Amino acid sequence: MTHESNARVALITGATGGLGSAVVPAFESAGYSVVGCDAAHPDAAMRFDVTDPAAAATAVRGIIADRGRIDVLVNLVGAWRPQPPVSEISDEDWDGLFDINFKSVLVMSRAVLPHMIERGSGRIINVGARQGERGVGGNGPYSVAKAGVLALTEVMADETRDSGITVNAVVPSVIDTPGNRAGMPDADFDTWVPPAQLAATMVFLAGDEAASISGDRIHVFNRA
Cross-strand bridge partners of residue 170: 127, 218
Which 3-state string (H, E, C) describes 106-132?
A: HHHHHHHHHHHHHHCCEEEEEECCHHH
Give the span between the Cα atoms of 195 and 207, in whole angstroms: 19
In angstroms and rounded to an integer, the radius of gyration of the C-alpha atoms of the chain is: 17
Give the span between the Cα atoms of 51 and 10, in whole angstroms: 19
Instruction: Note the helical H segments in the chain.
Output: 20-29, 53-67, 91-98, 104-119, 130-133, 140-159, 178-183, 195-206
- Domains of the chain: which residue ranges? 9-220
> What is the value of pTM for the model shown?
0.94
The vertex-35 CA angle with 16 and 200, nearest 5°, equals 70
Give the span between the Cα atoms of 157 and 163, in whole angstroms: 10
For 56-67, letters b (16+ CB in 10 Å) and e give bbebbeebbeeb
In degrees to the nearest 10, what's the CA dihedral of 28, 127, 152, 55? Answer: -60
32 included as an active-site residue: no
For 177-213, letters b (16+ CB in 10 Å) and e give beebeeeeeeeeeeebbbbeebbbbbbebbeeebeee
Q: What is 9-220's CATH number?
A: 3.40.50.720
The reported pLDDT for the residue numbered 9 is: 98
- The per-residue pLDDT string of the chain (224 residues; one tens digit each, 9 = 90 and over) reads 445 567 999 999 999 999 999 999 999 999 999 999 988 778 788 999 999 999 999 999 999 999 999 999 999 999 888 898 999 999 999 999 999 999 999 999 999 999 999 999 999 999 999 999 998 898 889 999 999 999 999 999 999 999 999 999 999 988 999 888 988 899 999 999 999 999 999 999 999 999 999 999 999 999 88
The reported pLDDT for the residue numbered 1 is: 43
Contact 210, 38 (CB under 8 A): no
Contact 100, 142 (CB under 8 A): no
Catalytic residue among 142, 145, 167, 171: 142
